[in-house]
């Protein structure tokens, strides 16, 4: 039937404000950040009824990351996909209605991994389709999604195509996705110009679209790494695939914390980095006004932010990432993210926590003079952050949180760099010689051996002692068995069992004594117990240190009784986890979210016709609906 024969459907109350876009790339999630409606958990019953109304065709619309919440009104249009649903509603009138799926829609923020968030979208969309199919026999469905929502929509279409969905394939007219991270799935229809040599960040869905082949289309803009990641970016592609399919329940140890740092809430809303300077401004005002009750409350709320900020800074303020961000165009989102990370690194968060405790103590004691001093001291500690434009800081908060998995790999790169530079054979020879030299009281021989060990091993010891290897090992352990990344993860897990604090302390003690050693005046050795004499001189138990060093070198990375395949060290040298790859892919990511390519589907052309990507998708869906 011609679209011109359909009555124009009265337009509902639309979204009131334009979208604020922030793209997050490199590791996992890039999507549009928008102000949300109904975040207090209330849902208008009348609108819910309208969303569940029985029309011949039901649009199941899944918004992108940060465009919605689990408590969102299913009849309130939000975000990017209004550019598709509104023309379809105008074209098909009362034949069609939309159900807007509310779900977590987060990406490694608010305590959720991307996969955990996506699963809430799948569950919500499946439930809506099941309920509508039950209450409205004969209704047929059109799926639609943007970004993470396209991931949700595509996964459900694949389930339906395999006979495992909420509705039979015969009830599914078509599906459409904008910026689908699963682009490359067998049976998809690619609208727009070809993008050879690229794939979606999460990788193709292994089962394909099955019976729905030819009925699920996507639009993807060139340069959008979320759906058009260059295949040579193997590291980012692998990480995206892994993290898009792994939830918190599958993460090991502190990887859960490292991959989903949650800043908590401020004034009942998810907190961003502006909560610190804003809160401190409030606090100093309260202190000047001698408002002890208000100051105590504000300091308490700020104190809750310090721990997560320390974790975020420790992980993400990595020189590889910061320099990559700062080298991007001034004024771009990624450049601002670099400036914010620099400011965080220069903020005395430990001192800030101490001052906030002092504020609360002074407020409790009613000491307004001490309260004022502590509040001003706290404000001074956060001066690097307060000097940045608050609106820009708010925008890049999610960019910085989204970089956490990339930062883990950058840390892994630093550790692997330390591992690969070690002369293990030299350490092994020196360590094996120490007991013999010690037993016969050969002070010069012990000296030479310890110099060789200390010079070669100290760089690795200091690196391993600074970095929490557990989350790195947990992240890399999610790679497929046999992959070099998996081998690195196993190696780091073994390294993490070494008492690096003790080894570093002993090596430093030895280092100090080696500096003092004078071959012309060697230490006195008791012939009856030369080992005891040497231990006393060096301040460490040499014979207990030697086995740790020997095990570490003799078997590559075989310590604590856990064997690794021979050649692990060679594998580490060949892995893609090296600084040059990370910097290259980091620059790709910086350009990506600096240009905000991911959120240009409503304006940027996707083919030679010059039509915006969303218009191309809407026209394709309209054709499918008209011929259904």
- What are the DSSP calls for 46-71, one per residue? HHHHHHT---SEEEEEE--TTS--TT
Q: Which residues contact 180 (CB under 8 A, 6 or more apart)?
A: 145, 150, 151, 153, 154, 200, 218, 220, 227
Q: Residues of the chain whose pLDDT is less than 70?
A: 1-50, 107-113, 234-272, 314-321, 324, 333, 392, 394-422, 424, 459-460, 462-498, 500, 548, 550-595
Q: Which two tokens stand for residue 6?
A: 């359909």
In angstroms, the Cα distances linking 33 to 19, 65, 235, 328 are 7, 7, 26, 21
Identify the pLDDT of residue 624. Answer: 96
Token pair of 484 as six digits: 């070099």
Q: Are 66 and 58 in contact (CB under 8 A)?
A: no
First to last CA, the chain: 10
CA angle 593, 594, 595 (to 5 degrees): 90
CA dist 465 to 460, 462, 487, 569, Å?
A: 8, 5, 21, 20
Supply the DSSP symbol for 27.
S
8 Å CB contact between 48 and 73: yes
Query: What superfamily does domain 3-248+597-626 belong to in CATH?
Result: Alpha/Beta hydrolase fold, catalytic domain (3.40.50.1820)
pLDDT at site 285: 95
Quick one: angle between helices 292-316 and 349-365, nearest 10? 170
pLDDT of residue 34: 28
Of the candidates 251, 257, 248, which has an alpha carbon nearest to the alpha carbon of residue 115? Answer: 248
Q: Which of 28, 392, 440 is nearest to 238 (CA)?
A: 28
Residue 579's pLDDT is: 46
What is d(CA 552, CA 498) in angstroms, rounded to the nearest whole number?
A: 9
CA-to-CA separations, 430 to 42, 180, 226, 427, 529, in angstroms, rounded:
70, 56, 50, 5, 22
Query: Is-contact 104 112, C-beta < 8 A?
Result: yes
Residues 6+ apart with CB under 8 A from 465: 500, 501, 504
Q: Which of 20, 29, 200, 211 is nearest to 113 (CA)?
A: 29
In this structure, which CATH number among 3.90.190, 1.20.120, 1.10.10, 1.10.4100 belongs to the domain 264-394?
A: 1.20.120
Query: DSSP characters for 185-219?
Result: -TTEEEESS--TTEE-TT---TT--GGGTTSEEEE
Q: How many residues does the chain have?
A: 628
Torsion region of 605: left, alpha or beta (phi above 0 gives left; psi -120 to 50 gives alpha)? beta
How does DSSP classify residue 576? S
Indicate the SS3 state at residue 32.
strand
- Between strands 140-146 and 172-178, the pairing is parallel
The bridge status of strand 188-191 relative to strand 216-219 is: parallel
Q: What is the DSSP letter of 522?
A: P
Supply the pLDDT for residue 558: 42
What is d(CA 269, CA 66) in angstroms, rounded to the nearest whole number? 13
């Amino acid at each position: 039937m011609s679209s011109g024969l359909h009555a124009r459907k009265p337009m509902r109350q639309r979204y009131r404000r334009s979208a604020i876009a922030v793209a997050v790339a490199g590791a996992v999630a890039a999507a549009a950040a928008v102000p949300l409606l109904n975040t207090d958990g209330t849902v208008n019953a009348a609108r819910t009824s309208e969303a569940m109304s029985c029309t011949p065709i039901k649009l199941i619309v899944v918004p992108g990351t940060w465009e919605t919440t689990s408590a969102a009104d299913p009849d309130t249009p939000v975000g990017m996909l209004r550019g598709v649903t509104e023309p379809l509603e105008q074209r098909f009138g009362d034949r069609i209605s939309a159900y807007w799926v509310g779900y977590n829609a987060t990406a490694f923020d608010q305590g959720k991994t991307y996969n955990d968030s996506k699963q809430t979208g799948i569950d919500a969309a499946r439930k809506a389709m099941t309920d509508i199919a039950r209450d409205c026999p004969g209704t047929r469905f059109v799926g639609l999604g943007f970004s993470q929502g396209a991931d949700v929509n595509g996964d459900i279409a694949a389930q339906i195509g395999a006979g495992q969905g909420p509705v039979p394939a015969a009830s599914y007219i078509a599906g459409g996705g904008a910026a689908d991270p699963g682009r490359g799935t067998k049976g998809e229809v690619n609208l727009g110009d070809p993008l050879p040599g690229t794939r979606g960040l999460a990788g193709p869905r292994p089962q394909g679209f099955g019976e729905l082949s030819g009925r699920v289309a996507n639009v993807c803009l060139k340069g959008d790494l979320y759906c058009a990641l260059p295949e040579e970016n193997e590291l980012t592609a692998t990480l995206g695939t892994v993290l898009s399919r792994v939830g918190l329940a599958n993460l090991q140890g502190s990887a859960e914390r490292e991959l989903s740092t949650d800043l908590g809430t401020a004034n009942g809303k998810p907190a961003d980095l502006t909560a610190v300077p804003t809160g401190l401004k409030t606090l100093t005002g309260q202190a000047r006004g001698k408002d002890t009750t208000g100051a105590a409350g504000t300091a308490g709320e700020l104190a809750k932010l310090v721990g997560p900020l320390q974790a975020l800074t420790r992980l993400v303020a990595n020189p590889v990432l910061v320099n990559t961000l700062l080298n991007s165009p001034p004024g771009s989102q990624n450049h601002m993210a670099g400036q914010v990370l620099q400011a965080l690194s220069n903020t005395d968060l430990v001192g800030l926590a101490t001052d906030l405790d002092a504020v609360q103590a002074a407020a409790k004691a009613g000491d307004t003079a001490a309260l004022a001093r502590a509040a001003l001291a706290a404000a001074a500690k956060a001066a690097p952050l307060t000097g940045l434009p608050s609106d820009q800081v708010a925008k890049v908060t999610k960019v910085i949180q989204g970089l956490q998995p990339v930062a883990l790999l950058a840390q892994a790169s630093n550790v692997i760099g330390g591992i690969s530079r070690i002369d293990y054979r030299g350490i092994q020879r020196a360590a094996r010689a120490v007991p013999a030299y010690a037993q016969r009281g050969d002070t010069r021989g012990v000296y030479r051996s310890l110099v060789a060990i200390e010079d070669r091993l100290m760089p690795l010891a200091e690196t391993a002692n600074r970095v929490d290897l557990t989350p790195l090992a947990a992240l890399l352990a999610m790679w497929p068995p046999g992959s070099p990344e998996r081998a690195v993860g196993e190696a780091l897990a073994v390294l993490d069992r070494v008492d690096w604090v003790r080894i570093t302390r002993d090596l430093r003690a030895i280092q100090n004594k080696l500096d003092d050693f004078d071959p012309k005046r060697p230490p006195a050795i008791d012939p009856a117990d030369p080992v005891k004499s040497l231990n006393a001189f060096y301040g460490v138990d040499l014979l207990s240190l030697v086995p740790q060093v020997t095990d570490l070198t003799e078997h590559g990375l075989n310590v604590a009784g856990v064997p690794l395949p021979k050649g692990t060290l060679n594998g580490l040298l060949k892995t893609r986890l090296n600084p040059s790859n990370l910097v290259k892919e980091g620059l790709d990511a910086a350009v990506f979210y600096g240009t905000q390519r991911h959120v240009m589907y409503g304006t940027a052309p996707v083919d030679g016709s010059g039509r915006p990507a969303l218009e191309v998708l809407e026209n394709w869906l309209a054709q499918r609906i008209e011929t259904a």
